[in-house]
C-alpha cells in the first residue's frame, strides 16, 4: 500500500479520447464512458482504476468482453494496439460523504477529482500523466438542475420529452482525470468578460445560489486582475472562450483548478463588507488568482506523478503570493506569508510527519497536500527567483512553459528550465527538493574598531528528520545589510550572500562605525537564523532597518527573546520591548498595517516552537505577562488614543483603510488584556456599531475570551443575526473555539452538540474542531480532556470524510514537543485513534507515522 517515487513507470496504455455520458440523479447517477485506448509500452492488460463501484457492462470495440476485478481495478485483457473500451457504472452522489468524486452539496451536484477522485466516477487510468480529450454529455431533470456545466466549451443543449434536458461540453485541451469537473444545479450567474492581450474575448461566469449573487463582485474583480497580471508578469494568456467558477458549500479544501470550470469552497468566493472580514477579502483574491494561475502552472503543464505535486502547487502559491503583494502592501503580504510558513510548515518539518518538498513515498496522496509541498515549495521557487533576478527568472519561466506545454512534467524539469533559461547552476540547490527539515543558520558579526572591516561568520545545520539522519548543506540565499549604530544609516549596499557550504565568512569593507546585522532580509531563505544580537541592537533595528520584513523581524525577535527568557525562568525584563513598541506606534512614517503586524506578540504556538519541551501553562503566563506589561507601559490612555486615531467613520476596502482597521483592532486587543470594564464596554460598542465584519468580528473574538454578561450578549446577538448565513456562523463557532477562557473545553464540547453543528460540512467541522485543535490552552488542558475531545471527533469524522479527518491528526502528532505529562496524554489519544475500527488509510497513515520514529 506504499507508493514510491522511484517506482514510476510510463503508462502501458494511453487514452487519447474519452466520451462520457452522465444521466444525473442525486440518488442514482448512471455513467457511460467510451475510452479510445492505445498501447504505449509493455504488454499488460488495460487496468482501469475504480473507487468501489461495480461495472454494469464492459464492451470492447462494441462487443461484450472478458474482464475481471483486482481489488478496485477493472482489468481488461486486450489483444491489439488500439481499442474502444466502454464501461457503465451507477453511483450515488447523495450518499458520497467523502466529497471526492461526484457528490451533492446544497441541492447541487458537483465534483472534486484531485488527486484520485475521478476513479470514483468512472473506471479510468486515474494518473496525471495520461492526458485525454473529453466529450461530456450531461442529462438531468430540467427543473431541479437547470444549469449543466463541464470543462471547455458548450457545443450543444436541448430538451428531452420527459422534463429532462441535456448539454454537451467539449474540452479541446487534453487533460488528466483529476482536472475533470461537472456541475448541475439551480444556479445564478455573475457574468463579465475579459479581453486577452491578443484581443480574444473570454466570457467569465461566477455561478452561485441566486441569493448569493450580490456577494460575487470581489471575486470577479480579482479574477480579471489575475488574468491581466499573468499576461503582464508571465506572458500567460487564457486559452478557452469560457472561464467558469462555481461556489459550493461543502468542499474539502479551498478550491480546485479544473480546466475552464474552477470549483470553489464558497468561503473563497462570497464576500461583502457586512459578512466578510478584510482577511476574507484578501484570501478570496489570493485563492481566485491561485486557481486561475493553475491554468498554466497545473493544467497546460501538469504533473507527471503525484510526487511532483509541488511542481504545480509550490510554483502557483509563489505566483499568487506575488500577485497579492502587487495588489496591496508587499511588505505586509510577506510578513503574513512568513507567519503562515512558521505556523504551519516549520512545525511540520520539525515533527514526525516531516517530508521533503518532493516526497519519496506515501500511503495516501491526500495527506501530502501540505504546507511543505505548498508553502515551502513556494519558498523554493522564490529562492530561485531571488538568485536569478527578475529578467532571468522570466526567461527561465518562459522556457519552462514553452518546453513543457501540453505535457506532464517533473520538479526536475522545472529546475532544468531555471538553469538553462536563467544561466545558473542549481546542482546543489536540488537538495532543497530531497531533504526535509528547516535549516538553522548561526550568524555573528564582528568588527574591530578602527579596522574598517566587519566579518560575518555563518554556519548552517539541518536537523535529522524521520528517515533522513544525515543531511548536506543546502545553498541558502541570504540578503544581508549592515547599519551603523551611531549614525543609524545603512553602511553598505545590500548583498546577496549564498551560503552553500556548512560555514562561510563574509567580509565587509569600509565599515567606519560599529555595525549592526540585518540578515535574511525579506525572509530570502526559509530558515531559522540564530544571532547573538542583544535586546538593544534588536530595538535599534526595529526602529531603523530599511527592509520592512527585517524591521518586523527585529521586533518579533526582541519579543520572542523576552518570552523565552521568562518561560525559562530567566530575565524577562519587558522594558526594551515596551520602549520598542512605543517607538513603533509613535513613528508617523510607518504604514498602519505594518505597525499592526509589528506590535503583535508572537503566538503561544510559535513561542512553544522555540522551546525544547513545552509547558503550555508557562507559555501562556509569559505571554499574558508581557501583554499586560505592554498595556501598562504604554498606558490605557495611549492605547485608547491609538484605537481612536485609527477609526474611520465610513467603511472603505482600500489598503490604507484595511491597515487602519488592523492597527485599531490590535490596540483593542491590548486594551482588553486585563478585561478592564471600560475596555470591555469599548469592545461591546465597537461590536454593536460596526458597519463591517472586520470590526464586528474583532470585537467578538476578544470578548469571547472574557467572562460576564457582555460576552454572552454579543455572542447571542451574533448568532441570531447570522443564523442563516453558514459562512458567518462558522466564525461564531471559531471565535468560541479559540477562547482563552479556562472553561473553553466545556464550552466547545457544548458547541459540538449545538443544533447548527455538523461534521458533514468540512467548513463547520474545521471552524469548531480544527480551530480548537490550535487553541494552546483548551486543546492542551492539563487533564487531557481537549485531546480526548479532538480524538473522538476525529474518529467520528473519519467515518464520513477521511481526508478532512486526517487533517486533525498533526496537532496530536506534536506530542514529543510537550512536557512529559501532556506528551503521554497526547500519545494515548493517537493510540486510541489507531485502535478505532475501520480506520481510513488517510488517518491510519498520519496517526501511525505520528507514533513512529522521531
Ligand atoms: N489543487 C487544489 C489547489 O491547490 C487543491 C486540491 C486539493 N485536493 C486534495 N485531494 N488534497 O488549489
Ligand atoms: Zn493549487
The pLDDT assigned to 570 comes to: 82
For ligand 1, is residue 289 a contact (CB within 6 Å)? Answer: no
Residue 845 among the catalytic residues: no
498 alpha carbon to ligand 2 midpoint, in Å? 29
Which of the four pLDDT bands, split at 50, 70 and 90, describes residue 853? confident
HSE-up (13 A, CA, CB side) for residue 96:
32
- CB contact at 8 A, 568 and 638: no
The pLDDT assigned to 212 comes to: 98
Q: What is the mean pLDDT of the chain?
A: 98
Average pLDDT over residues 612-625: 98
What is the percentage of the chain residues whose pLDDT exceeds 70? 100
How many residues would you count in the chain?
854
Q: Rounded to the nearest 5°, which phi and psi values hold at 214?
A: -65, -10
Q: Could you tell which of 256, 296, 308 is best to mutate to test the pocket of ligand 1, judged by most ligand atoms within 8 Å of the CB?
A: 256
- Does the structure show a pLDDT above 80 at 181? yes
Which of the four pLDDT bands, split at 50, 70 and 90, describes residue 727? very high
What is the percentage of the chain residues whose pLDDT exceeds 90? 99
- Does the structure show a pLDDT above 80 at 800? yes
The pLDDT assigned to 572 comes to: 76
- Does the structure show a pLDDT above 80 at 571? no
d(CA 653, CA 281): 9
- Does the structure show a pLDDT above 80 at 131? yes
The pLDDT assigned to 562 comes to: 97
Average pLDDT over residues 48-64: 98
pTM here?
0.99
- Does the structure show a pLDDT above 80 at 854? no
For ligand 1, is residue 369 a contact (CB within 6 Å)? Answer: yes
Q: Could you tell which of 253, 265, 290, 801 is best to mutate to test the pocket of ligand 1, judged by most ligand atoms within 8 Å of the CB?
A: 253
For ligand 1, is residue 320 a contact (CB within 6 Å)? Answer: no
Annotated catalytic residue within 86, 116, 168, 291? 291
For ligand 1, is residue 114 a contact (CB within 6 Å)? Answer: yes
Buried b (16+ CB within 10 A) or exposed e, 776-814: bbbbbbeebbbbbbbbbbbbebbebbbbbbbbbbbbbbb
144 alpha carbon to ligand 2 midpoint, in Å? 32
245 alpha carbon to ligand 1 midpoint, in Å? 15
Buried b (16+ CB within 10 A) or exposed e, 658-676: bbbbbbbbbbbbbbbbebe
pLDDT digits (tens, 9 = 90+) for 641-660: 999 999 999 999 999 999 99
For residue 513, the SS3 value is coil
Q: Could you tell which of 99, 101, 114 is best to mutate to test the pocket of ligand 1, judged by most ligand atoms within 8 Å of the CB?
A: 114
Nearest-ligand number for the alpha carbon of 258:
1
The closest alpha carbon to 261, from 195, 324, 170, 323, belongs to: 170
| Model ipTM value | 0.98
Closest ligand 1 atom, CA of 255? 12
- Does the structure show a pLDDT above 80 at 560? yes
- CB contact at 8 A, 82 and 38: yes
Closest ligand 1 atom, CA of 115? 10
Which of the four pLDDT bands, split at 50, 70 and 90, describes residue 373? very high
pLDDT digits (tens, 9 = 90+) for 302-351: 999 999 999 999 999 999 999 999 999 999 999 999 999 999 999 999 99
The pLDDT assigned to 18 comes to: 99
567 alpha carbon to ligand 2 midpoint, in Å? 39
For ligand 1, is residue 116 a contact (CB within 6 Å)? Answer: no
Closest ligand 1 atom, CA of 253? 7
pLDDT digits (tens, 9 = 90+) for 742-753: 999 999 999 999
- Does the structure show a pLDDT above 90 at 213? yes
Amino acid at each position: 500500500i506504499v507508493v514510491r517515487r522511484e517506482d514510476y513507470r510510463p503508462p502501458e496504455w494511453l487514452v487519447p479520447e474519452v466520451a462520457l455520458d452522465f444521466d444525473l440523479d442525486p440518488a442514482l447517477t448512471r455513467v457511460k464512458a467510451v475510452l479510445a485506448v492505445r498501447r504505449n509500452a509493455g504488454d499488460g492488460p488495460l487496468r482501469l482504476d475504480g473507487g468501489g463501484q461495480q461495472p454494469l457492462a464492459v464492451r470492447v470495440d462494441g462487443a461484450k468482453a472478458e474482464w475481471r476485478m483486482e481489488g478496485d481495478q477493472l482489468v481488461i485483457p486486450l489483444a491489439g494496439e488500439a481499442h474502444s473500451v466502454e464501461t457503465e457504472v451507477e453511483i450515488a452522489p447523495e450518499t458520497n460523504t467523502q466529497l471526492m468524486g461526484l457528490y451533492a452539496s446544497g441541492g447541487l451536484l458537483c465534483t472534486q477529482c484531485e488527486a484520485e477522485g475521478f476513479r470514483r466516477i468512472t473506471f479510468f487510468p486515474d494518473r496525471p500523466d495520461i492526458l485525454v480529450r473529453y466529450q461530456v454529455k450531461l442529462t438531468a431533470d430540467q427543473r431541479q438542475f437547470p444549469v449543466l456545466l463541464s470543462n471547455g466549451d458548450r457545443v450543444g443543449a436541448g430538451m428531452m420529452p420527459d422534463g429532462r434536458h441535456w448539454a454537451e461540453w467539449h474540452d479541446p485541451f487534453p487533460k488528466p482525470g483529476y482536472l475533470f469537473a461537472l456541475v448541475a444545479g439551480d444556479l445564478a450567474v455573475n457574468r463579465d468578460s475579459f479581453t486577452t492581450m491578443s484581443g480574444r474575448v473570454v466570457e467569465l461566469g461566477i455561478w452561485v445560489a441566486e441569493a448569493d449573487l450580490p456577494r460575487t463582485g470581489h471575486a470577479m474583480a480579482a479574477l480579471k486582475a489575475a488574468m491581466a497580471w499573468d499576461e503582464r508578469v508571465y506572458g500567460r494568456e487564457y486559452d478557452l472562450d469560457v472561464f467558469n467558477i462555481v461556489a459550493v458549500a461543502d468542499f474539502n479544501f479551498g478550491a480546485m483548478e479544473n480546466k475552464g470550470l474552477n470549483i470553489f469552497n464558497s468561503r473563497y468566493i462570497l464576500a461583502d463588507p457586512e459578512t466578510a472580514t478584510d482577511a476574507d477579502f484578501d484570501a478570496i483574491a489570493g485563492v481566485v488568482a491561485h486557481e486561475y494561475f493553475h491554468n498554466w502552472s497545473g493544467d497546460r503543464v501538469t504533473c507527471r506523478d503525484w510526487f511532483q505535486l509541488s511542481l504545480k502547487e509550490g510554483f502557483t502559491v509563489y505566483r499568487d503570493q506575488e500577485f497579492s503583494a502587487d495588489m496591496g502592501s508587499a511588505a505586509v503580504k510577506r510578513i503574513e506569508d512568513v507567519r503562515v510558513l512558521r505556523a504551519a510548515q516549520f512545525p511540520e518539518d520539525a515533527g514526525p510527519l516531516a517530508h521533503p518538498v518532493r516526497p519519496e513515498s506515501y500511503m495516501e496522496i491526500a495527506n501530502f497536500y501540505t504546507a511543505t509541498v505548498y508553502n515551502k515549495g513556494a519558498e523554493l521557487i522564490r529562492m530561485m527567483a531571488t538568485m536569478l533576478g527578475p529578467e532571468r527568472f522570466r526567461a527561465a519561466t518562459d522556457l519552462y512553459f514553452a518546453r513543457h506545454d501540453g505535457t506532464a512534467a517533473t520538479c526536475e524539469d522545472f529546475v532544468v528550465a531555471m538553469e538553462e533559461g536563467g544561466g545558473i547552476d542549481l546542482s546543489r540547490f536540488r537538495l532543497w527538493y530531497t531533504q526535509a527539515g528547516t535549516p538553522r543558520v548561526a550568524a555573528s558579526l564582528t568588527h574591530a574598531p578602527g579596522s574598517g572591516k566587519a566579518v560575518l561568520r555563518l554556519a548552517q545545520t539541518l536537523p535529522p528528520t524521520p528517515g533522513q539522519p544525515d543531511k548536506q548543506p543546502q545553498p541558502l540565499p541570504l540578503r544581508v545589510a549592515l547599519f551603523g549604530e551611531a549614525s543609524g544609516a545603512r553602511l553598505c549596499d545590500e548583498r546577496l550572500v549564498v551560503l552553500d557550504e556548512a560555514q562561510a565568512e563574509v567580509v565587509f569593507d569600509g565599515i567606519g562605525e560599529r555595525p549592526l546585522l540585518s540578515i535574511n532580509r525579506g525572509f530570502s531563505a526559509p530558515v531559522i537564523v540564530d544571532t547573538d544580537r542583544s535586546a538593544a541592537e534588536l530595538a535599534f533595528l526595529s526602529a531603523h532597518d530599511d527592509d520592512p520584513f527585517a524591521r518586523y523581524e527585529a521586533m518579533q525577535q526582541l519579543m520572542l527573546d523576552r518570552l523565552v527568557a521568562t518561560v525559562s525562568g530567566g530575565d524577562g525584563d519587558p522594558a526594551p520591548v515596551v520602549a520598542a513598541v512605543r517607538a513603533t506606534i509613535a513613528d508617523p512614517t510607518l504604514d498602519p498595517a505594518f505597525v499592526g503586524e509589528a506590535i503583535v506578540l508572537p503566538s503561544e504556538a510559535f513561542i512553544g516552537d522555540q522551546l525544547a519541551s513545552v509547558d503550555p501553562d508557562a507559555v501562556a503566563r509569559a505571554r499574558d505577562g508581557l501583554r499586560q506589561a505592554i498595556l501598562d507601559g504604554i498606558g490605557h490612555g495611549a492605547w485608547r488614543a491609538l484605537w481612536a486615531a485609527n477609526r474611520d467613520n465610513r467603511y472603505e476596502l482600500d489598503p490604507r483603510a484595511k491597515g487602519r482597521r488592523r492597527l485599531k483592532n490590535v490596540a483593542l486587543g491590548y486594551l482588553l488584556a486585563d478585561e478592564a470594564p471600560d475596555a470591555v464596554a469599548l469592545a461591546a460598542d465597537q461590536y454593536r456599531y460596526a458597519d463591517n465584519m472586520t470590526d464586528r468580528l474583532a470585537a467578538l473574538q476578544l470578548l469571547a475570551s472574557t467572562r460576564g454578561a457582555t460576552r454572552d450578549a454579543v455572542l447571542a446577538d451574533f448568532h441570531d443575526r447570522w443564523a442563516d448565513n453558514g459562512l458567518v456562523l462558522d466564525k461564531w463557532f471559531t471565535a468560541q473555539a479559540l477562547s482563552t477562557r479556562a472553561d473553553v473545553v466545556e464550552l466547545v464540547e457544548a458547541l459540538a452538540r449545538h443544533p447548527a453543528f455538523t461534521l458533514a460540512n468540512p467548513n463547520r467541522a474545521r471552524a469548531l474542531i480544527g480551530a480548537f485543535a490550535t487553541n494552546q490552552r483548551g486543546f492542551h488542558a492539563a487533564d487531557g480532556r481537549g485531546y480526548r475531545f479532538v480524538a473522538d471527533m476525529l474518529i467520528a469524522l473519519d467515518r464520513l470524510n477521511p481526508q478532512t479527518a486526517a487533517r486533525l491528526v498533526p496537532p496530536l502528532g506534536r506530542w514529543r514537543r510537550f512536557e512529559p505529562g501532556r506528551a503521554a496524554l497526547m500519545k494515548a489519544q493517537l493510540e486510541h485513534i489507531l485502535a478505532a475500527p475501520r480506520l481510513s488509510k488517510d488517518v491510519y497513515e498520519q496517526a501511525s507515522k505520528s507514533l513512529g520514529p522521531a
